[in-house]
Amino acid sequence: MITELNSVRDVWKKMPTVRHAGLFLENAIWGDNRFCPHCGSLSSRPLRGASVRPGLYQCSEKECRGQFTVTTRTPLHATKLDLRIWIAAMFLVLTSSKGISWVVMSRILGVNQKTEWKLAHAIREMMDDRQGVAGRLSGVVEVDEAFVGGKPTFRHGVKNKRGRGTGKPSALVAAGRNGQARAVLIPNTQGRTMKPIMEDRIDPA
Ligand SMILES: [Zn+2]
Domain contains 64: no
Is the separation of the CB atoms in 111 and 119 below 8 Å? yes
80 and 127, same structural domain? yes
Of 82, 110, 134, the residue that ends a domain is: 134
Of 115, 134, 153, the residue that ends a domain is: 134
For ion ligand 1, residues whose CB falls within 5 Å: 36, 38-39, 41, 59, 61, 64, 66
Going from the C-alpha of 159 to that of each of 33, 61, 106, 153, the distances in angstroms are 24, 14, 53, 11
The CA 82 to ligand 1 mean position distance, Å, reads 26
82 and 24, same structural domain? yes
Strand partners for 114: none
Strand-pair category, 141-147 with 181-186: unpaired
Tell me the C-alpha distance between 78 and 95, whole Å.
24
The CA 69 to ligand 1 mean position distance, Å, reads 12
The CA 43 to ligand 1 mean position distance, Å, reads 8
- How many residues belong to the chain? 205
The CA 30 to ligand 1 mean position distance, Å, reads 15
If one compares 108 and 98, the residue with the highest pLDDT of the two is 108
Closest alpha carbon to 119 in 107, 106, 134 = 106
Domain contains 63: no
Q: Which domain holds residue 92?
A: 2-30+70-134
The CA 35 to ligand 1 mean position distance, Å, reads 8
Of 108, 134, 160, the residue that ends a domain is: 134
The CA 62 to ligand 1 mean position distance, Å, reads 8
Residue 132 is predicted with a pLDDT of 45
Choose the weakest-confidence range: 30-39, 105-114, 122-131, 195-204. Answer: 122-131
The CA 148 to ligand 1 mean position distance, Å, reads 11
Domain contains 146: yes
Residue 133 is predicted with a pLDDT of 44
Domain contains 54: no
pLDDT tens-place string over residues 52-66:
888 999 999 999 999
The CA 70 to ligand 1 mean position distance, Å, reads 13
pLDDT tens-place string over residues 158-180:
555 555 555 566 777 777 666 66
Spell out the alpha helix ranges (H) of 37-171: 83-95, 102-109, 113-134
What's the total number of domains in the chain? Answer: 2
The CA 167 to ligand 1 mean position distance, Å, reads 11
